[in-house]
Amino acid sequence: MGSSSKRRKDKQKDFQKPKLKVGKTKAKPDNYTDTSFKSKSIVLTQQSLHLAAPTSNATFTHNLSLLSAKSDSQRRDSLAYLTTSISSRPVNSPLPQPVSVILPSLLPLILDGATSVRTQLLKLLRTLPPGDVEDHVAQLLPYVRAGMTHLAADVRSSAVEILSWMVEAAGESTVSCAGGWIKTLNCFLSVLGWHTEESSQWSSSRASFGKSGSQGKPMVKTLGALAVFLDAGIGKPSVDGVDSEMSGDDESPDWPFPLCQTAQHMISDSSTPFAYLNLFGKPRDEEGEMYETREDRYRVFSTRFQPAIERGIKSAREEGGELGRASSGVSKVLKEAIAYGPGP
Amino acid sequence: MVKRKLGALEKVEADLPNLQHKIRRDPKSYIEDFRAQHYQYESHREIYMAAPSSATDTGLISLRDLIDFISHVADCYPGICKDFPQQLIDMLMQHHLVLETELREKLVGSLVLLKKKDLLDSATLLHTLFPILVSTPSKTLRALLFQKILSELRTANSKTTNHKLNRTMQTVLFNLVTSDRTSAKGLWAIKITRELWKRQIWTEAKAVEVMKEAALSQNEKVIIGGVRFFLGGDKEREELEDEDSEEEVNVGQVKHQLTINKKTRKKARTAEKAIKAVRSKERKKGNPSPLNFSALHLLHDPQGFAENMFFKHLQNGKSNLKLEQKLQVLQLVSRLVGLHKLHIMPLYSYFQRFLTPRQPSVTSFLASLAQASHDLVPPDVLEPLVQKIANEFVSEASAGEVATAGLNAIREICVRQPLAIEETLLQDLVMYKKSKDKGVMMASKGLLSLYRDVGAQMLKKRDRGKEAAMSLRAGERQERRYGEQAAGEIEGLELLAKWKDEERRKKNIENGLPSDAEDNDEENDEANWAAWNVEDDEDSDVDGEWINVEEDVDIVLSDSEDEGKPASKKAKQEEEDKKDADKEAESAKEIDFMKLATTRILTPADLAKLTELRAQAAANATLPGNKGRVAAPWTSRHTDDPLTAGEIEGLAALSAAKATREERIAHAKEGKTDRSEHMSKEARRKERKEEQGKSTTNKEKARKKNFLMTLGKARSKNKRSLVETRAVLKAHVDRGKRGGRRGNVGQ
């Protein structure tokens, strides 16, 4: 107990006012943290200093690499740069980089979260020469399908837009590449919600998950894309096509008399002429199969999709308004296809 | 940067967990959304599988999330997801080498989840996971897979034993071990088998067969894994069982706490769990315990196994095992030989080379040799070994520890095969009982007392001791010949016979008949058959809770060697007469109890009584002074227990030089771990009280009181007048009478 006076002194110490003195620095508080540091050198991670300005080709490649940047404005700007550099190139000159190099870095952007990036991407895609796109449809399609079933409605609608561009640019290869027909149609049905009977009725209280999107009428746009897609897949073959088919039988004017059917024996002008053999991929199931002729596609369509689509169109027409008008486009394509039947 | 606040609707967007939650509540309404996500997953999978190594981060994350999402709600849409498990399996099996780690772990976790949801059967799951476990180079994945496989096997066997699954898994493990004997992959088979053996999930011969093949492999890690299993697997199992049974839950306490403490749902749950645990334990107690044979007993063809092991790993010059590993193999071989009484003649000549004191870890070799000897080993095989041990280890010149180890080893060999030693050598060794070295003396005495039991005629006359000498003279103790087997009997049957006899006598006395009269058998039989069902007779104390220990045993602590006073001749004579009579009675009794076994069927009641009597007899035997001496240690050893090097070393510590004071203190402290420092009892008590927060006594308070506070009173005491002093003293006396200041009026 002899320590009580000492303890009292200790206690008093806590409440004493610190004495400030003129001309001396203020004492640091107890909880002061020293943040100063010493370093022998400071390293800047990226620094590229050149005397000469980079060539346009180098900037193109650089911007291509910037497509995977973190900030979405950066991605959008790079896309814009790429678009202008492709569209402003002299006529008939080749692309700064081949499509097969550009495309892999573009593909993930189909699922990009920022709307501005996706619209810019569509602009860029439109500038690509359609002939080059044709060979890369098989690469594009999985991404587009992933986009069409994305949780975010905006991504869905822009994926539909990209799909309609693809059909426009390379319709035949879009519908005939591996998985291009059944899987894509499945995605369409899922976007439109036409899979089952009860879910396709307009009166059904379909619990829609997520926001409906900010870009106007996604349903209308989707219906338009569906019409284009169906037309490309099972629409009545155009007269030129029939003509060329017919002329295949006759001796072609390009080849002089003794040569007949020579075009069949020449090296094919498509990049993967034997893709349907599937020599190197893993075995495909029914959904992933290639349906190369209209006949095949029509058969698959009539057995698997026709009832669902007809039902969907009917309910869309009943809904009326803009949607009804859009549905009439689809129904027109459908009618023509059915009228044409499985083929000549 | 401050996180931007999100509106409720915005949050909903692109949120798989949210969708998962909604699907769980109402699967039917969200089928379209789920279908969309399933397509999404399929396209992502397609993208990923096209180039698994060059996937982007975002693609990976979305694929992982989608797999997680779908596997969580797959049970709601079995139609859509019917290919999903197979897809995951394919992805894992074909690409586990290149898959990104997190995705790989997600795949494994999802497969296990699907198994839990019954979308996948456990055989498929195990057939998927196991090959990857064996082949993957990634350590983390192996750890994960091992854990998953084990837990899968445990859950599959939790309710009832899943024989089919166990059999297929054991076959897979067996094939793994036997297919490539040089590879270390067999370790996984060993790890899994050992773990499941420990938890008593696998207790069949097939699991043992896997380990047997492992022990015969060519990879040293695998060999040692297998050997270790046989040497320690069963002990591990027992320990785990003990641990399990130790954790007691006090239901009463839990219930009591529940009434006092705040009632929360969590506490209620814990109480419920505790009660359930106790109930299940009680139920388990009621069940008959499953027969758990040790792995050594479940071996098919132990002779072949032991021979293979010996020739492959020990005798073979090409085997590249280290000494410790060889010792372990030797231990296993010798245990097998001892346990199953096998014959491997080259084994004994193999030992010859190692029996010198300079050999590293020679005591282990000695222990193995002792283990390997049994009563069917020809004595002329063991004799040279014993001779060698005696020559190398036991001499006046050798150190005390060495001689002790040698003598102990010889004793252990002779316990198992008494014919292994020659008479002259034995007599020489027994002479060491007069050694100054305490360890040697004890070891030699051990040998002596062993031979008093098993072969007294080999000892010198003066060493035989009273009992042995007398029984020799009477001719009832015969030397056991080589290969002679004792007739089988039911242990403790003579106790039962004696007890029955007494009961009959009591009954006869009650009935007024002469005690020796034979009662009518029929009645007796009837009583016996009535007692067929043990549960019916309630008053028989079969519980075994209480064992009667004889009261009137006079506890005399005397050594049988030197009786304090020689009894008078007359008394001796009388004693001998009595002994003779006893002997006759005994021989008669022997016939009697054998008759009991051969003429009667023992009822369960009889058997219960038998176990009780046996326990009682065992308890009585441990009392000092009972029949002069305690049973020798070698009789109490179970045949399954291994002999260790420590036992061979024996009391070698006694032969070492005297320990210093510090060593002795350290040795004494070993047992008492909880004491921090030396303190008086009073001080320790006080410390304990302080710790518990209890108050001090008045005396202590007075002793601790501040000096300044006492000063005033002390001063005033000096200045008191006589009258004042008287008044104070009077008051003190008065207080004493009253019983303190407050008095004890009330009581």
Q: What is the mean pLDDT of residues A158-165?
A: 90
Indicate yes or no: CB of A142 within 8 angstroms of CB of B33. Answer: no
What is residue B553's predicted lDDT score, i.e. its pLDDT? 47
What is residue A312's predicted lDDT score, i.e. its pLDDT? 84
Angle at A186 between CA A182 and CA A188, to 5 degrees: 120
Query: What tokens were used for B12?
Result: 């909903």
Q: What are the C-alpha distances in Å from B430 to residues A230, B439, B441? A: 108, 14, 9
What is residue B539's predicted lDDT score, i.e. its pLDDT? 44
Q: Is the dihedral of CA B690, B695, B701, B703 positive or negative?
A: negative
Chain A nearest-CA distance from B106, in A, is 21
Q: What is the mean pLDDT of residues B681-702?
A: 85
Alpha carbon distance B208, B203 (integer Å): 8
Please choose, from the candidates B229, B203, B133, the residue with its C-alpha nearest in 3D space to the C-alpha of residue B172.
B133
On the 0-12 / 13-18 / 19+ scale of CB atoms within 10 A, B421 is buried
Indicate yes or no: CB of A111 within 8 angstroms of CB of B62. Answer: yes
Alpha carbon distance A90, B407 (integer Å): 106
Please choose, from the candidates B122, B16, B22, B121, the residue with its C-alpha nearest in 3D space to the C-alpha of residue B70.
B16
Please choose, from the candidates B344, B355, B336, the residue with its C-alpha nearest in 3D space to the C-alpha of residue B311.
B344
Please choose, from the candidates B341, B214, B235, the residue with its C-alpha nearest in 3D space to the C-alpha of residue B292.
B235
Measured between beta carbons, the chain A residues lying within 8 angstroms of B62 are 111
Indicate yes or no: CB of A149 within 8 angstroms of CB of B22. Answer: no
Query: For an interface test with A, which of B20, B33, B70, B706 has the most A Cβ atoms less than 10 Å from its Cβ?
Result: B33
B601 part of contact set with chain A, CB < 8 Å: no
- Provide the 10 A C-beta neighbour count for residue A191: 25
Note whether B311 and B194 are within 8 A (CB).
Answer: no
Chain A nearest-CA distance from B117, in A, is 25
Most confident of A258-267, B425-434, B495-504: B425-434
Measured between beta carbons, the chain A residues lying within 8 angstroms of B69 are none
Note whether B235 and B244 are within 8 A (CB).
Answer: no
Contacts of residue A235, Cβ cutoff 8 Å, sequence gap at least 6: A333, A336, A337, A340
Q: Label residue A321 left, alpha or beta by phi (over 0 means left) and psi (-120 to 50 means alpha).
A: left
Condensed to tens digits (0 to 9), the pLDDT of residues A176-189 reads 888 788 888 888 88
Alpha carbon distance A180, A174 (integer Å): 6
B42 part of contact set with chain A, CB < 8 Å: yes
Q: What is the mean pLDDT of residues B73-83?
A: 88
Query: For an interface test with B, which of A72, A151, A215, A222 has the most B Cβ atoms less than 10 Å from its Cβ?
Result: A151
Q: Is pLDDT above 60 for B503? A: yes
Angle at B138 between CA B136 and CA B142, to 5 degrees: 70
Q: Label residue B512 left, alpha or beta by phi (over 0 means left) and psi (-120 to 50 means alpha).
A: left
Residue of B13, B32, B42 with shortest CB distance to A193: B32
Q: Is pLDDT above 90 for B384? A: yes
Measured between beta carbons, the chain A residues lying within 8 angstroms of B15 are 151, 210
Note whether B207 and B194 are within 8 A (CB).
Answer: no
Running DSSP on this structure, what letter comes out for residue B657? P
Query: What tokens were used for A307?
Result: 């009832």
What is residue B559's predicted lDDT score, i.e. its pLDDT? 44
Indicate yes or no: CB of B32 within 8 angstroms of CB of A206. Answer: yes
Residue of B nearest to A143 (CA): B43
β strands within B431-571, DSSP E: none
Indicate yes or no: CB of A150 within 8 angstroms of CB of B14. Answer: yes
Phi, psi of B631 (to 5 degrees): -60, 145
Q: What is the mean pLDDT of residues B720-732?
A: 93
**Between B197 and B529, the higher pLDDT residue:** B197
Indicate yes or no: CB of A146 within 8 angstroms of CB of B40. Answer: yes
Alpha carbon distance B621, B615 (integer Å): 10
Contacts of residue A132, Cβ cutoff 8 Å, sequence gap at least 6: A95, A98, A99
Indicate yes or no: CB of B19 within 8 angstroms of CB of A209. Answer: yes
What is residue B222's predicted lDDT score, i.e. its pLDDT? 92
Query: For an interface test with A, which of B1, B31, B40 has the most A Cβ atoms less than 10 Å from its Cβ?
Result: B40
Q: Is pLDDT above 80 for B145? A: yes
Measure CA B284 to chain center. 19
Three-state SS annotation for B636-653: HCCCCCCCCHHHHHCCHH
Note whether A118 and A158 are within 8 A (CB).
Answer: yes
Q: Is pLDDT above 70 for B734? A: yes
Indicate yes or no: CB of A209 within 8 angstroms of CB of B12. Answer: yes
Query: For an interface test with A, which of B9, B11, B13 has the most A Cβ atoms less than 10 Å from its Cβ?
Result: B13
Query: What tokens were used for B720?
Result: 């008191």
Condensed to tens digits (0 to 9), the pLDDT of residues B93-126 reads 888 888 888 888 999 999 999 999 888 888 889 8
Alpha carbon distance B523, B326 (integer Å): 65
Note whether B157 and B201 are within 8 A (CB).
Answer: yes
**Between B67 and B597, the higher pLDDT residue:** B67
Measure CA A230 to chain center. 19
What is residue B515's predicted lDDT score, i.e. its pLDDT? 56
One-letter identity of residue B1: M
One-letter identity of residue A49: L
Measure CA B708 to chain center. 64
Range of weakest confidence among A174-183, A212-221, B480-489: A212-221
What is residue B653's predicted lDDT score, i.e. its pLDDT? 60
Q: Is pLDDT above 60 for B598? A: yes
Query: For an interface test with A, which of B30, B37, B46, B709 has the most A Cβ atoms less than 10 Å from its Cβ?
Result: B46
Q: What is the mean pLDDT of residues B37-59?
A: 80
Q: What is the mean pLDDT of residues B287-308?
A: 80
What is residue A12's predicted lDDT score, i.e. its pLDDT? 81
Measure CA A52 to chain center. 37
Terminal Cα distance for chain B, rounded: 77
Range of weakest confidence among A134-143, B370-379, B547-556, B632-641: B547-556
Q: Is pLDDT above 90 for B293? A: no
Q: What are the C-alpha distances in Å from B614 to residues A310, B535, B545, B596? A: 90, 20, 14, 17
Q: Is pLDDT above 80 for A40? A: yes
Query: What tokens were used for B106?
Result: 């997600």
Contacts of residue B24, Cβ cutoff 8 Å, sequence gap at least 6: B73, B76
Chain A nearest-CA distance from B439, in A, is 59
Phi, psi of B314 (to 5 degrees): -110, -55
B37 part of contact set with chain A, CB < 8 Å: yes
What is residue A92's predicted lDDT score, i.e. its pLDDT? 79
Q: What is the mean pLDDT of residues B448-471?
A: 87
B50 part of contact set with chain A, CB < 8 Å: yes
What is residue A200's predicted lDDT score, i.e. its pLDDT? 53
Query: What tokens were used for B516?
Result: 């020796």
Query: What tokens were used for B498?
Result: 């004696």
Query: Within a 13 Å sphere around the CA of A212, how many CA atoms are in the beta-carbon half?
Result: 8
Give chain A's contact residues with B (Cβ, < 8 Å): 1-2, 68, 108, 111, 113, 139, 142-143, 145-146, 148-153, 179, 183, 186-187, 190-191, 193, 195-196, 199, 206-211, 282
Note whether B555 and B620 are within 8 A (CB).
Answer: no
Condensed to tens digits (0 to 9), the pLDDT of residues B7-25 reads 444 444 557 888 888 888 8
Query: What tokens were used for A94?
Result: 């080749």
Measured between beta carbons, the chain A residues lying within 8 angstroms of B73 are none
On the 0-12 / 13-18 / 19+ scale of CB atoms within 10 A, B197 is buried
Condensed to tens digits (0 to 9), the pLDDT of residues B208-230 reads 999 999 999 988 899 999 999 99
Residue of A nearest to B83 (CA): A285
Residue of A149, A179, A210 with shortest CB distance to B13: A210
Chain A nearest-CA distance from B14, in A, is 5
Helix residue ranges, H only, B180-260: 186-198, 205-215, 220-246, 251-260
Indicate yes or no: CB of A193 within 8 angstroms of CB of B43. Answer: no
Phi, psi of B263 (to 5 degrees): -90, 110
Note whether B97 and B136 are within 8 A (CB).
Answer: yes
Confidence tier at B407 by pLDDT (50, 70, 90) = very high
Query: What tokens were used for A273?
Result: 């002429």
Please choose, from the candidates B560, B547, B366, the residue with its C-alpha nearest in 3D space to the C-alpha of residue B452.
B560
Running DSSP on this structure, what letter comes out for residue B290? P
Q: Is pLDDT above 70 for B636? A: no
Residue of B15, B43, B62 with shortest CB distance to A142: B43
Residue of B16, B56, B704 with shortest CB distance to A108: B56
Residue of B nearest to A147 (CA): B40
Q: What is the mean pLDDT of residues B411-419?
A: 91
Contacts of residue B632, Cβ cutoff 8 Å, sequence gap at least 6: B449, B450, B453
Range of weakest confidence among A49-53, B150-154, B326-330: A49-53
Q: Three-class SS of residue A24?
A: coil
Alpha carbon distance B645, B623 (integer Å): 30
